[in-house]
Every structure is written in C-alpha cells, then in structure tokens.
Structure 1
Amino acid sequence: MKQGNGIGSIGRCGIKAAVGCGIAFGALSYLPSVSAQSKTLYVGMNGGVMERTYVDHVFPAFEKENNVKVVVVPGTSSDILAKVQANKDKPQMHIIFLDDGVMYRAIGMGLCDELADSPELKEIPANARIRGNMAAAVAIGMTGLAYNTKMFKEKGWAVPTSWQDLADPKFKGKVIFQSLPSSTFGLHAFLMVNRLNGGTESNVEPGFKAWKTGVGANVGEYVANSAKLSEMVQTGEAGLFPSTPTQVMVLKSKGLPVEYAQPKEGAVALNTMECVIARNDEPALAQKLAAFLLSPGAQAKALQGGASIPANPKTPLPADTDALIKRAVDYAHTAVVMDWDVINAQRPAWSTRWNKTVER
C-alpha cells in the first residue's frame, strides 16, 4: 500500500509490518531509537494539503505526549473506504477521515466503533456527528460555487448568487463540472439543481430531465475530480464550478484569480468526519487520538496550517484569520443537509445513468 512521507518500506511489507520488515533486513544494530514501547497508529485521509497539515502541524503534539508515531494512509474517501472494507477482519488502519456521505456507508458496513465519551466529543455540535457518536466532524465544510474573478471582470459578469447560475446561457462552455460518480462536489451540485427543478433526493428525475438543456449545455468539460481546476483556471477554461471555501483558499494561495460565492439557496454541508476503526489492534490509543483531534487545540493547528474550518466551536479564531474562513463558519449554520441514507442507496443507479446519458 502506498504511503506518504517517504515510508517506502510500508508498500513492500504491509502497513503493520513496516517496522518489523526493517528489523528483518538487519536493522537491529542501528535502530535503537525505536523502543519496544513505541507504537504506530495509521490514519486514512486525503493526501496533499490535508496530509501535510496534519503531519506537520497537528500530529506532532500527540506523538510527543504519547510516545507514538502517527502515519497517514493517503487517498480519497472512496479509496480509504475500499481499503478498510478489504481488511475489515484484520484492520490496517486505526482512524479514518471520510466525507460525511461516505462515512454513512462506512458505519452501515460495521467498520466503525462508537467514539468514546470525552470532553472533546461533547463540544462537537450534534449536527456535526453521525448516528449519535459513531463519527464526528474534525472539520466543517460546504460545497458552493467558485468563479474565475479575472474572467468575470473581463466579461463584466456579476458575482454568481445561485445554483441556477450554472445554467445561465452566458456561461456556455465555461462551467467545469465534477463527475457525479466520482465527486462529492459534483453530486452536491447536481442534487441542488435537482431541487431547484422540483426534485428531492428520492426523486432525481427533474434533475436529469433538465440537465441537457440547462447546466449540461454550459459544461465545457466534465472532470473526475478537482485536481485539474487550478490549471483550467489559469488557462481560462474554467469560469464557474462547484467548490468549497477551503479549496478556494488553496487555489488563491497559488496566485490564481478565484473567489468563493455562497448560493442564496444555501451551500451543501460537506464535513470531514472521523471514526475509529472497529477491531483495530490499539483501540484505547486510537480513541485517545480521536478525542485529541476533536480538541480546540488540534483544530486550531489544522486551521492555521491548512485553512481547515474547525468543527469545535471552542476553537479560537486568530485575529488574522482569513475573512473567507470566518464567513464559512457562518455559512455552516445554514448549510443544506442531504439525506445520505437515500443517496447511498440510489447512487450506483444514478452513476450508471449519468455515464450513459450525461458523460457519454
């Protein structure tokens, strides 16, 4: 399994066997720093910015206090879920971070233990937990709209204010849309367009019916995920697309002309949830790390290091916190919450239909 942070031996030996593998290759004589008491916890999460943020800014305090090493297993939510499911009888991870919709699936599969009661867990609002205390948000987010400020200025276009703007004919060829089967951003946007056309999560006929002559007529390209967006903004291909405040901040940090726009109908809640893996071999230590990650101190580090919007309302916001982050905290109060039980039951059929009728 591929690991970040230069842990090359893990891929050859398996996650849990990484230290043992090194010893088998004759490393005993020069590894006195790896004590018999030190342990390793493996956390599945998105790679890139999130991985760097937690490895550089959040995990070190816990590692030092508990004589433990925390190693990230990078991947998308779907990737992480598949890895955990494949090893459910002998888990190779201890904690996973998943988008809220995917976390519902993980819990339904019996892959998560209930989070242990703790002062930190009590501080997380009820609407930022799943099924009681089976999972809790380490970061809050929402899918809204992002737009190319350079293009909008040159064209004299007003800032977008509604999900319906995705179907405005003046944006023909300049809407970039993430594929519904592979992207939560795309799924969120489609479901909001569906609602505007009279649909619900239980009835997506209005969304599919309106797509071809509405939003679909404006889409310049469907992309599997958001990785290409920075290039497409830079080249002027992307004018308007579903996004989150955090992603917009990442793009802006690269010098790209992008801003976030909050739709008047509301953005869609997109929380990053954590759960402790059932049957893992370090249940007490994993629960301790899970509680730590919910604490104001840990979430403040994630905010400062990676613009992660804290789920714990007691997390201090420094005076120099970006204005978009402060607005996003307010946006979270009005975020639209989707019915993930209905969505997860029907999503495979939606994906098949999407592939046949939209991205043919």
Structure 2
Amino acid sequence: MKKLLDTSISRRSVLAAGAAVAGALAMPSIVRAQDKSLKVGVYGGYFKKSFDEHIFPEFTKATGIAVESVAEPTGEAWLVQLEQAARAGQAPADLSMMSQTATLKGQASELWTPLDSSKFKHFGELLPRFINKYPDGRVAGIGAVAWYITLVSNTDVFKEAPTSWAALWEPDKKDKLGLLALASNSFLLDVTAKTFMGGSKALDSDDGLDKAFAKLAEVKPNVRLWYRDEAQFEQALKSGEIPMGQYYHDVTGLAIADGFHVRSTFPKEGGIQDSGNWVLSKASKKVDEAHVFIDYMTQPSIQGLMSRKVGTAPTLERKVLDLTDKEFAAVSSEIEPIIPRYDLYVSKADLINQKWTELIVG
C-alpha cells in the first residue's frame, strides 16, 4: 500500500459507537485501568498517521489502554532491532506489524511470544492464511494488515482490460511494462508458477525454480522499468509512458478517483496478496494488553474501519464484514489470491536473489 504507506514493506471504516461501548464492556476490568499502556510498532508515513488518527484512539476509548505508536524502520531493520533488544531483555515495541518473511525469521530465535487464540473472539473467522504458526502449531502471529498487487494498465493505451497475468508476456507489451525490482516484493515467481506451472507447488524443487526463472526471463524484453521508486512508476502509468505493469490496487484506486485514466485488474489467477502480522516480542511484559489489542483489531467492525480509513484488505471472512460491495472491491477481491511462498524467500533467499540478479534484472 504505497503512497498511502511508507515504502519498502511496504506498507504499507467507521466504527459505530455502540460497537465501541460493547467492546469496552466485554474487556476484563484488569485491562481497563487508565494506567495500562501498549507500545505498538507500525509502518511509518501515511500508514502510521492513519492509525494514530482513526484506529488507536478508538481502541483506547474501548479498552482504556493507551497506545504509544512507534514508526518502524523499513525492510528487516526492525527485526534486527527487536532481536538485539530482546537479548537485553528490552522491547522497543510490545506488538509490531511484521512482514511475513521477517515473522518467519523471528521464529528461528523464538522471538515471538506465542499467542493464546482462545482470547480472540473472532479467531475462527480469520482467513487461515492470516494465522502464522510455529512448526509445532503455536500461534506466532495474527494478520494485522493486507494489501493487493494487481495488474494495472492505462486505459488510453489499452482499451480493454487484461484478464490474465499472461498479458505481461504478450508481444504487444514490448518495452511497455513497469515491474517491481526485487524477487521478495514483486512475487513474480509466484505469478509465473500460478499462471504457467499449475500453482506454487511447482516451486518446491530447485528444478521447478529453474523452470520458473526461465519462463519469467521471457518477460524481460517487455519491461521498460524495474522499479523500486513507486512514485516513478505511478507517474509513468498515469501519463501512459509505461502503460502496464504491477502495482498496488488501493493506490491505483486513488488515482482513478483523481480522474486518471488507469485501471486495476484482478486477473483470473488472482491478485497478489501480501500482508503483515501482529507479533509480540518475547521481551514484552504486556502480554494481557497485547491479547486485548489483537482481539479488538480482529473484530469485523474494526476490520471495516481499517478498510475504509487506512485502505487495508480485511483479514476476516467476507460474510462477517460490514463492508458494502463497493467498499470491499476498493480494497479486496472475491477471486482467490496468489499467496507468496514466503517460506522459500527465507529458506532459499541466497539462491533466489542470485538467480534474480543474474537472470531477471541483470
């Protein structure tokens, strides 16, 4: 969720008064005391500003727990800081939004305090992909926010919307594409596997990875820009200079609302859904407050609030949400998404990054 959110992880709606009151009444009295507080790490920029303005104050009203928000540095720098601090018995933040790959890396050192799912009233309504578990089944993280990367295009240049990610490989797209520059945030290997190889299981073997890289390399003549600067691609998309590529569904929607001739398409193979987790530092002493926070954030009404005010895709089943069809479409899709193979971006990081540099962007 960019421009809406800080870049890199990059990432990167109205609560009814009755729901807030009901939430407050349901909270144990021990955590409604005014001296209760919680440090929460969130992605910076517009994203943090939106949470500070629209989300955290409502949580404090409902629970009496004060929130001190902490702007996380981009990339995995925050993971390193949390690990170093935990070794000293300190927690720069109690709860943090953490990327999926960083969540997995933190598991290796048991950095995350396991969460008690019985304390989350809507745990059973969370989509399974938003429950991160240790190998032994303990819950390491709960989906905090999600967003989509879709197939975007300039409607002046391409009159008809594409229907498949395969459009990126078509000859008429030569020198017309803008694609994300890193294997670990473009997820184009996952797109290739879903579009041409029957699904992500094709990436399980080194031979499958080699075939995916070979197929993805065929798209290179069509790529004008491998971008890290999202604003650069956004401007080129709006002007028609680079009329197609992959970009963030929510931000493209903002451009459409501003009158630009662009579209966001969920291909038949699904949009790419990326997300971040709520994780609890093992050095934190605020275990009770953290569980109250996650319980609150996974309420359907709060998921709706975040979709409307922050632009995030909900982590709960569609049927329990209070979003209208239009509100839901602004941030999500009913088409089954492409879920990146985060496990591979951790376990085979060196191999993937080497091949990516040599074969794709080199």
TM-score if structure 1 supplies the norm length? Answer: 0.77
Contact 2:37-2:65 at 8 Å conserved across structures: no
What are the Cα deviations for residues 64-111 of structure 1, in whole angstroms up to 9, with x where unaligned? 332413313234453433332332322211112233344333333422
CA offset at residue 255 of structure 1? 4.1
Following superposition, the deviation at residue 305 of structure 1 comes to: 0.5
Cα gap change, 1:85 to 1:252, in 2 (>3 Å): farther
State the Cα distance separating 1:217 from its structure 2 match. 0.9
Tell me: CA distance 1:281–1:268, structure 2 relative to 1, closer, same or farther (3 Å).
same
1:260 aligns with 2:268: no
Which consecutive residues of structure 1, in runs of 5 or more, have no partner in the other structure? 1-35
Task: Return 5+ residue gaps in structure 2 as ranges.
Answer: 1-32
User: Structure 1 residues 337, 94: closer, same or farther in 2, change over 3 A?
Assistant: same
**1:143, 1:267 within 8 Å by CA — same for their partners in 2?**
yes
Instruction: State yes or no: 1:209 paired with 2:214.
Output: yes
In the alignment, the residues of structure 1 paired with residue 34 and residue 328 of structure 2 have an alpha-carbon distance, to the nearest angstrom, of: 42
2:147 paired with 1:145: no
Give the 3 Å change call, closer, same or farther, for CA 49–138 of structure 1 in structure 2. Answer: same
Residue 298 of structure 2 is aligned to residue 294 of structure 1: yes
Question: 2:255, 2:44 → 1: CA distance?
Answer: 16
1:318 shift after superposition: 4.1
Cα distance in 2, alignment partners of residues 340 and 81 from structure 1:
16
Change (3 A) 1:194 1:317: closer
1:226-241 residue pairs with structure 2 within 5 A?
226-241=230-245
The letter of the residue matching 1:98 is M
Q: Kindly state the Cα deviation for residue 170 of structure 1 after the two structures are TM-superposed.
A: 1.1
Aligned residue for 1:63? 60
SS of match in other structure, 1:152: coil
The structure-2 alpha-carbon separation of the partners of 1:296 and 1:351, relative to structure 1 and needing over 3 Å to count, comes to: same
Shift of 1:345: 0.7
Over residues 100-124 of structure 1, what are the superposed CA-to-partner deviations in whole Å (9 max), with x where a residue is unaligned?
3443333334221222332133432
| Contact 1:44/1:80 (<8 A) preserved | no
Alpha-carbon distance in 1 for matches of 2:214, 2:66? 54
Alignment of 1:124-163 (within 5 A): 124-131=126-133, 132=137, 133-153=139-159, 158-163=160-165
Deviations 1:291-315 (A, max 9, x none): 2111223222211212222212323
Greater relative contact order (Cα 8 A, min sep 6): structure 1 or 2?
Answer: 2
Residue matched to 2:84? 86
Report if the CA contact (8 A) 1:191-1:204 is conserved: no
d(CA) in 1 for partners of 2:324, 2:193:
39
TM-score by length of structure 2 reads 0.76
Shift of 1:54: 1.3
Aligned to 1:32: none
Q: Is the 8 A contact 1:42 1:73 kept in 2?
A: no
Equivalent-residue separation in structure 1 for 2:189 and 2:230 (angstroms): 16
CA RMSD of aligned residues (A): 2.7
Seen in structure 2, the aligned counterparts of structure 1 residues 234 and 244 have a Cα distance that, compared at 3 Å, is: closer
